[in-house]
Amino acid sequence: MNEQSEDAQIPSLTNKDVADVLRRIGDLLQIKGEVIYKILAYRKAADGLMALARDVNAIHSEGGLESIPGVGKAIAAKIDELLTRGEMDFYTKLVAEVPETLAELMAVPDLGPKKIKLFWQEAGVTTLAGLEAAVTEGKLRELPGMGPKSEAKLLDGLASLARRSGRMRLGDATPLARELLETLGAVEGVERIEVAGSLRRMAETVGDLDLLAAAEDSAAALAAFVALPRVARVLGHGDTKASVEFVDGTRAQLWVHPPARFGTALQYATGSKDHNVRLREIALAKGLSLSEHALTPVGHDKGDGTDGGAEILCASEDEVYAALGLPFVPPELREDRGEVAAAKADALPKRLEVAHIRAQLHNHSTWSDGRSTILEMAEAAIERGFAILAITDHSGGLGIVQGLDAEGVIAQRVEIAAAREAVGNRIVLLHGIEVDILADGSLDMPDEILAELDVVVASPHVALRQPRAQITERLLRAIRHPHVDIIGHPTGRLLGKREPADLDMDAVLAAAAETGTALEINANPHRLDLADVYARRAIEMGIAISINTDAHAPEHFDFLEYGVATARRGWVEPESVINTWASERLLAWLGREKS
């Protein structure tokens, strides 16, 4: 933020621009060593801005900055400076003390503010490039807490950061898209509107949002789209398509097609590209050309494009696939992974639905890092129609949560019993644990305690950057443990933040198949772990899958749709998911003797 002349035009800042400054302030204050409440205040304000559906400039003009969640009087005054003058005195003074580029280093996995401050003050490191050079040249090796292993870890972190994309998580894109569909679907003349692209295929991350509307006249829908309150910039506005950038930096496109052509348009825009290539090959073999507009006999001359006489118009996707001699292929399968051949052979997987899920086997309460009591979680599960709920609070070894030791597990039985009495026969309430797989491969709870629990979920949380052989052996030990029922979020990944552990998945899957241990698809949109490709391999090997929300509050049960979508993308059928089984069968499985 450079000094500007009085006549200079103040650039229009989006919500994301302002939030980025506030978040950077929080990071620089943490590196500086400020008290935590100041750091969190700026981060909460940044989160509040990113959650807005309106332009912060409009709220500013109304004098309503303090109405933004997390924005108090002091931060509102700073935002006012930024929006009015294009600069903020507090920020200018801060970056004079702490180099602005140090905030970039906070994104490096496993690199915290204390180390960043050490590298800056002792080795002059202020940028990502400078950090990589310092590590490569051995300039950090003699600093406290550093050595060859630490250097290798930093280089791995830098490589991981370089591989990250700016894509949205599925769980962030979905609610935004639904809001847009509801708003634009109410526009006069819009007969139908759908999401397309990777979001409709329920990919774990999504780039831009693609929307398709069916309307005879495109003008009203496109005008409503570019006028949405969350639009910061209109990037393009034509007769049939408009592109915008929202206040949070997300980009979206809306296409409008006549209702009679909506099916081919939706199929084309949903993709994937490789799936569409397969369909065009089938169309050509039938003497047809498939485009986003229609199926057209090869060689047909449409003249000026207004004569659709020989075209095959498809108002729905079902008609597109039927014209090609195929059953409807669900969007989440359209990745050119054999779905077209399966469709030809009438061998597409039976579609798993959220309604098939009857049990949740990995959930937390206030006994560890959950936000609700056991009874509150049970009542929420009953409300959602679950037949079985397991409370699986963390064991204490994780360190960052209020985990349970053996005495804590025993004490928790009292509250479990009280909750069981309160819910009666409305739900089966199980007492379990999410036990940490420690760095040496042992489990963070005595065997005699694990043996008494209804369900044991063993999960990796720490030392996830161990060498491949070492971390794989940790998972294998847990899989083979006689009391472990489920391996939770097996690779430990956090989408956009932490890469999966370098596991030998062939060995992990083989061990799970041998022992009958279930592997979890964790439905939390930050995880979606197992990934779809491994879920598919697992079911091909006869491994049981458990889809769990890892709920830490009642509303987290709503993550279930993302886990189910991941399973669908992995061709997982209901029978392969233990959460779909009848209660008697599931309880018998949990009480079995492992091989």
Task: Tell me the per-residue pLDDT of 293-333, one tens digit each, with 9 for 90 and over.
Answer: 999 998 755 544 444 448 999 999 999 999 999 999 999 99
For position 51, what pLDDT does the model report? 80
Domain count, the chain: 3
Residues 105 and 46 in one domain: yes
Question: In the structure, what pLDDT confidence band is assigned to residue 152 with cuts at 50, 70 and 90?
Answer: confident
pLDDT at 54 over 90: no
In a domain, 2, yes or no: no
Residues 42 and 119 in one domain: yes
In a domain, 524, yes or no: yes
In a domain, 484, yes or no: yes
In a domain, 3, yes or no: no
Q: Which of 344, 368, 389 is the last residue before a domain boundary? A: 344
Residues 298 and 248 in one domain: yes
For position 401, what pLDDT does the model report? 62
Q: Which of 344, 379, 409 is the last residue before a domain boundary? A: 344
Residues 21 and 130 in one domain: yes
In a domain, 80, yes or no: yes
Question: In angstroms, rounded to a whole number, what is the distance separating the alpha carbons of residues 340 and 359?
Answer: 33
In a domain, 295, yes or no: yes
In a domain, 5, yes or no: no
Question: In the structure, what pLDDT confidence band is assigned to residue 166 with cuts at 50, 70 and 90?
Answer: confident
In a domain, 579, yes or no: yes
CATH number of the domain at 421, please.
Answer: 3.20.20.140
Residues 189 and 208 in one domain: yes
Rg (CA), the chain: 27
Residues 388 and 501 in one domain: yes
Count of beta carbons in the 10 Å neighbourhood of residue 446: 11
* 434 DSSP β-pair partners: 394, 457
CATH number of the domain at 119, please.
Answer: 1.10.150.110
Structure tokens at 235: 């990037």
pLDDT in tens, 504-524: 999 999 999 999 999 999 999
Q: Write out the residue range of the structural domain in which residue 317 sits.
A: 168-344
Q: Which of 344, 363, 387 is the last residue before a domain boundary? A: 344
Residues 159 and 181 in one domain: no
CB 92 within 8 A of CB 78: no
Higher pLDDT pick, 59 / 12:
59
Residues 176 and 229 in one domain: yes
Question: In angstroms, rounded to a whole number, what is the distance separating the alpha carbons of residues 257 and 263?
Answer: 10
Structure tokens at 199: 């979001």
Amino acid at 292: E
CB 42 within 8 A of CB 22: yes
Residues 210 and 146 in one domain: no
Residues 330 and 372 in one domain: no
Structure tokens at 179: 């809001």
Residues 548 and 575 in one domain: yes
pLDDT in tens, 63-117: 999 999 999 999 999 999 999 999 999 999 999 999 999 999 998 888 999 999 9
Beta strands in 249-367 (DSSP E): 251-257, 288-290, 295-297, 359-360
Angle at 211 between CA 207 and CA 217, to 5 degrees: 150
CB 359 within 8 A of CB 331: no
Residues 33 and 87 in one domain: yes
